[in-house]
Structure 1
């Protein structure tokens, strides 16, 4: 992990000095998070037990966290960025160290996650794992003559206008793997140029870059899109539950699926630390871990917490205690040249 700030992180750090000026009301908890992470079914129980009123705001990309915090971070108490964004939040000064002794159940989290070098840095812990999963491909079997097995399906002219892709810099990771590059988080200038060219070439095939799981669900349910990358478990569940007369199926491409893990970080100078720590502890309990897993279809980070609230069949499906599955994924990392990756992705989106 780098110790020097990139120009982008330095800019955000400067903004953070003035951003933390607003204060949330005591006994409230304001979370900047993802869809499904604050579902009423389990959040209502937390509110009743803790006396803390939860207000959730949502992001569609990890790039949203820095932008929203720089614009006025004091309105948030907890953020839930992905693994590849955690270092940036710390280096930009948006968050403060966490006292893990105040987080009940922290010792039962997979150590592969809780002791990650991006989480434990400078002699302190900066994030508490929340939930994890993979990013696979999703498609309509009734629209394909044979089952696809490769990322190449996202670049197939035969499906022009029926392809979608997440509006996120991770599009670079997918394209890099398709082009045969293994160092997807440390691409050279020449490799990034090739990735950019391929994404620009792909652009006429794209129906829309989706910004949220809900948007992708609508695109597939309305038959606007037949294939896309997707957060494993969530979109397929939501589309198939609509019973539109067709089903969507997920698959892991031969170039591997991506892996991610979202965590809870404490926004710097929040006045609501008591509620924040209560929430972090709740999310390591059976109610929290099974609640978010049920809401999203994702995987729990605390195997002990789900021992009694998940069936053996569901534990197998959600990869409980299957660390080998983690090792099979291309787990997200912060790109070594984050500014360059964002520059490339923005250039792709700006291309005609």
Structure 2
């Protein structure tokens, strides 16, 4: 069997165990780069009869905006943990029938039983993939061995610094300023964060909106240092073999952690394909596929038992849930509207 046919056969076997009959359908997913790579989506389509169409977001703030503009366009969304509660409270999603989704029992309980995921006995999301947010840099351009968020505020690298175009810039700056609770900052703390970000703004080459954009910025020598989703951009930049490499580090002020989950858009007529997809993404094909596509960490350790060697499992934190506890895991800010107001003010500043 060729590798492709083997993948198709394994996918068909996984789908055959699902508690519903196969049927043709469509599945429109609002998701992140790398989460609908043809390497694992095409075998799913061919085995399930469900055609997948993906639209990509650059920030968690995009989910509400796009659903409010026309939620009927999408069937499944994959927001991060700090946005799951907002989607539920806004009425954008329906609870999930876990009996129709296989593989949930293999997910780390720290994720599958998280209070944002299970509310009043109902499951609102199925964990998909997780990771951290690191600092990525060019060791041939950045002096010494940086270990602090401060490198993102260093005037020596004016015009060569980038940051993600997202309210999480507030979290980074708050940690750099020494504030302990970055998700519940006081008015005075938010003002200090805003002032620091506005002070940083002349140093910024560009706020990036997607991992692909950051990859291009670094590959084209426009940016030397940025925050980045651990694994993805470094993998992609280094694969281009531009004559230099990039490396990552977790800052001494601690790195952020995130977990993205699949949610069912309210009233979708494609629930059967959605359940098949959620189940598939807990299988070896799904978890191995998305981990390979992104460089992120699987939520279902048993599913990747045979596709990763010992070194890869260590790198992707398989069965290392303690790593989660070392991170500042994203939460929805207590005053989300105030955080968005601050971030928009920073971007609007000259």
TM-score normalised by structure 1 residue count: 0.92
CA deviation string 1:31-79 (max 9, x = no partner): 0000000000000011011100000000000000000000001010000
Cα distance in 2 for residues equivalent to 1:202 and 1:326: 29
Q: Which residue does the alignment assign to 1:259?
A: 257
CA deviation string 1:155-177 (max 9, x = no partner): 00000000000000000000000
Q: Which residue does the alignment assign to 1:11?
A: none
1:40 to 33, 38, 41: 38
Q: Which residue does the alignment assign to 1:164?
A: 162
Q: Which residue does the alignment assign to 1:182?
A: 180
Q: Which residue does the alignment assign to 2:301?
A: 303
2:198 to 197, 200, 216: 200
Deviates more, 1:257-266 or 1:304-313: 304-313
Offset at residue 312 of structure 1 (A): 1.5
Q: Does 1:119 align with 2:117?
A: yes
Cα distance in 2 for residues equivalent to 1:174 and 1:287: 35
Cα distance in 2 for residues equivalent to 1:309 and 1:237: 18
The gaps in structure 1 that reach 5 residues or longer are: 1-25
Offset at residue 233 of structure 1 (A): 0.2
Deviates more, 1:118-127 or 1:133-142: 118-127
Offset at residue 307 of structure 1 (A): 1.0
Offset at residue 106 of structure 1 (A): 0.4
Q: When the two structures are aligned, how many residues end up with a matched partner?
A: 328
Q: Which residue does the alignment assign to 2:59?
A: 61
TM-score normalised by structure 2 residue count: 0.93
Offset at residue 144 of structure 1 (A): 2.1
Offset at residue 122 of structure 1 (A): 2.7
Q: Does 1:146 align with 2:147?
A: no
Q: Which residue does the alignment assign to 1:275?
A: 273
Q: Does 1:228 align with 2:215?
A: no
Runs of 4+ more than 6 Å apart = none
Cα distance in 1 for residues equivalent to 2:121 and 2:305: 32
Cα distance in 2 for residues equivalent to 1:298 and 1:123: 29
What's the C-alpha RMSD, in Å, of the aligned pairs? 0.9
Cα distance in 2 for residues equivalent to 1:144 and 1:117: 41
1:240 to 235, 238, 241: 238
Q: Which residue does the alignment assign to 1:52?
A: 50
CA deviation string 1:193-219 (max 9, x = no partner): 000000000000000000000000000
**SS in structure 1 at match of 2:140:** helix
**SS in structure 1 at match of 2:91:** coil
**SS in structure 2 at match of 1:117:** coil
Offset at residue 123 of structure 1 (A): 2.3
Q: Which residue does the alignment assign to 1:219?
A: 217
CA deviation string 1:282-332 (max 9, x = no partner): 000000000000000000000111112211111111000001111000000
